[in-house]
Amino acid sequence: MSKAIPEPVTKLIESFSRLPGVGPKTASRLTYYLLRAPEETSLALADALRDLKANTRYCAVCYNITVEDPCPICADAQRDQRTVAVVEEPLDVLAIERTGAFKGVYHVLHGAISPMNGIGPDDLRIRELTKRVDKGIIAEVIIATNPGLEGDATAMYIQRELTGKGARMTRLARGLPVGSDIEYADSVTLTRALMGRGDV
Amino acid sequence: MPRPDRSYRTTAIILKRRDFGEADRLLTILTPEHGKQDVIAKGARKLTSHKMGHVELLTRADMLIHTGRELGVAAQAEMTLPLDRLREDLVRGAYAGYCAELVDKFVNAGFEDTRTLYRLTEATLIRINDVDDPRLSVRYFEVQLLLWAGFGPELSECVVGGEPIEPQDQVFSPGEGGVVCPQHAPRVLNTLSLPMLTLKTLRLMQRSRYEQVEAANIPQGPLDDSERILSSFIAHILEKRPLSAEFLRRIRRESAPG
């Protein structure tokens, strides 16, 4: 980077550039915005970043990100502790919680099996899920991984690991999203929608 | 090679897929006439995107691509070959992922003519999807990919002395890139045993069409040996083992009967 740019500015641009979805131009824009913004804006951001690492941890039960351990969902006696939704990322928990339709608990894998990127089963929280099911409390495991090649591979692997452990295993239904057009649907989605059709 | 038009239609195999920005996907595609390209499928992660299901990993799609200064944009996409069993069978998916990784590693990005490689990759993915045991098709793919990339191992002459190979057991040197005769073998480090039947198998795969190789009914021993030799040779060329190879080995081991 040019020597005309002071080192602290360069360092922050480089730090922003490492974030997913942030390119060098966006990183520069964010940095110069913070330079011009009131001091408290930058300090609040710095405090939030420090807090993020200092005050968060993984829930020892579901491996979601939490401040308290166990997390509020796992600690909630009103929730059905016998039904577990297995998701790839903490953001998937938020998406399912937004529906208000699920009253069970979660298990966060922190990724999906992606051999080409060197992510295998041991890099995910699959072993922890197996131990959780081994305790015999869980009656149903809902595999809610993304419906793509990597999510499907993860689902198949989990299914294989948990077979014979006594818990019912289900997978989120796959088909047409609300607001879509059948005309534009791909053959895989349409086939699965037909296979999963229901009575009206 | 001259720069292509600003937009072009192509058929493509999706080799790699990463999330990009808010709702986009960055795809690495292999095309017959425009080589290997990185293109963005804008909005492809949105549930209502028309492209969403059409840009799935290890499928074939017809695409309209607008070329950009850095990355092309897949403006339209329609899946034409879904290869369902790669998604329904962990072992088949692992084999297909391994082949896609090899293509990605051996092919440089850019507008080169990849018609032969495209046909090979497409045919291999279809075989992995369709046949009962995909091992032969994957070995054939490895041999033909090495030939295409200019790394085809020397199997007719000793790579040290240059003399024709006699019909007897030999050794293979990944470092020297081919067969070493028993006479010169002591001079070469890190060699692998190469039984005569395995050498014949590798030669057959190098020189023949897949249908001829399939018709030869190669026994399991030489096929397993070919896997060992090719795996070491590929790791030597790439300077490391493909990342998906370890997963494939694990899944095969865990799926083996008994």
User: Could you tell me which chain B residue has the CA closest to the CA of A23?
Assistant: B21
Which of chain B's residues have a Cβ under 8 Å away from the Cβ of A153?
90, 93-94
pLDDT in tens, B19-51: 887 788 999 999 999 999 999 998 888 877 777
User: Could you tell me which chain B residue has the CA closest to the CA of A26?
Assistant: B21
Confidence of residue B258 (pLDDT cuts 50, 70, 90): low
pLDDT in tens, A60-75: 999 999 999 999 999 9
**How far does the CA of residue B28 sit from the closest CA of chain A (Å)?**
12
Q: A181 or B145: whose pLDDT is higher?
A: B145
User: Could you tell me which chain B residue has the CA closest to the CA of A192?
Assistant: B84
CA distance B73 to B51: 12
Nearest to A116 among B16, B86, B250 (CB): B16
Strand-pair partners of B86: none
**Cβ neighbours for A171, distance < 8 A, ≥ 6 positions apart:** A142, A143, A144, A155
**How far does the CA of residue B4 sit from the closest CA of chain A (Å)?**
26
> Would you kindly state where each structural domain of chain A is located, as residue ranges?
7-55, 77-199
User: Could you tell me which chain A residue has the CA closest to the CA of B22?
Assistant: A21
A191 contacts B100? CB cut-off 8 A: no
Q: What ipTM was predicted for this assembly?
A: 0.83
pLDDT at A117: 86
pTM of the model: 0.87
Query: Which two three-digit tokens encode residue B52?
Result: 């969403």
Query: Which two three-digit tokens encode residue B196?
Result: 């005569």
CA distance B53 to A186: 5
Residue A145, burial from CB neighbour count under 10 angstroms (0-12, 13-18, 19+): buried
CA distance A28 to A34: 10
pLDDT at A182: 86
Confidence of residue B93 (pLDDT cuts 50, 70, 90): very high
pLDDT at B4: 56
Do residues A185 and A167 touch, judged by C-beta distance below 8 A?
A: no
Do residues A106 and A84 touch, judged by C-beta distance below 8 A?
A: yes
pLDDT in tens, B198-226: 999 999 999 999 999 999 999 999 999 99
Count of A-B CB contacts under 8 Å: 81
What's the whole-number mean pLDDT along residues A80-93?
A: 97
Q: CATH says A77-199 is which class?
A: alpha beta
Which CATH number is correct for A7-55, 3.30.365.10, 1.10.8.420, 1.20.1600.10, 3.40.50.720?
1.10.8.420
A184 contacts B79? CB cut-off 8 A: no
Chain B interface, best mutation among A146, A187, A191, A195, by max B CB count within 10 A:
A187
Chain A interface, best mutation among B244, B246, B248, B249, by max A CB count within 10 A:
B244
Nearest to B243 among A116, A157, A188 (CB): A116
* CA B87 to the chain's CA centroid: 18
pLDDT in tens, A156-192: 999 999 999 999 999 998 888 777 788 888 888 888 8
Give the position of tokens 């059409």: B54
pLDDT in tens, B54-78: 888 999 999 999 988 888 999 999 9
Which residues of chain A have a Cβ shorter than 8 Å from any chain B Cβ?
A: 20-21, 113, 115-118, 120-121, 148-150, 152-153, 156-157, 160, 177-181, 184-189, 191
